A = this chain, B = another copy of it.
């Protein structure tokens, strides 16, 4: 059984046994906290070992990194997902939508809208294939290529923020550790 937060807070070495429902000589506020109808006050929240679960830690790191990405690129208005699509198209000129979706594990139905938003400002082009008329060949436009360059500059700055927390050696260690998760 876990002692209530107020008890732990008031406790320290002085506390030898955990209070049940019976009152102690603590101030009413502290005595009540943890009992039904009382709320925890100011003290820091106990994560309860959550930070020992890989999923929790990786998720928090991912959120931090994406927020910093967003902040570093806010005036260019490009999301991490959009950036990854641009990179794939740049590296594979003429690639079909289904291949991009596959490579990034984006639903191809979802990719349609993503490409709409890259095509509208003229960053990419969709051209019906002459070979397989079901599919579209994707290419970066000149504007798209210039945009990608601008993005990469900003992302360098962002990566420096990440490496600041990771250490230069830390980044390569991290990439090595997480390699097996890239399906």
CB contact list, A144-167 vs B, under 8 A: 155, 158-159, 162-163, 165-166
Contact, CB under 8 Å: A34 / B93? yes
Residue among B51, B175, B177 making CB contact with A51, cutoff 8 Å: B175
- Chain B proximity of A150: nearest CB distance (Å): 16
Residue among B6, B64, B99, B127 making CB contact with A94, cutoff 8 Å: B6
Asked if A49 is at the interface of the complex by the 8 Å CB criterion, the answer is yes
| Proximity string of chain A (86-99) to chain B, C-beta cutoff 8 Å, 1 when within and 0 when not | 01101111111001
Residue among B58, B95, B162, B171 making CB contact with A39, cutoff 8 Å: B95
Q: List residues of chain B with CB within 8 A of the CB of A45.
A: 88, 91-92, 95, 99-100, 102-103
Number of copies: 2
Of chain B, the residue at the smallest CB distance from A80 is B55
- Given A35-B94, A58-B61, A58-B178, 4 further pairs, Cβ under 8 A: A39-B137, A45-B91, A50-B84, A60-B178
11 A-B residue pairs with CB within 8 Å: A33-B94, A36-B125, A36-B139, A37-B137, A40-B137, A45-B100, A45-B102, A48-B88, A56-B84, A166-B177, A174-B177
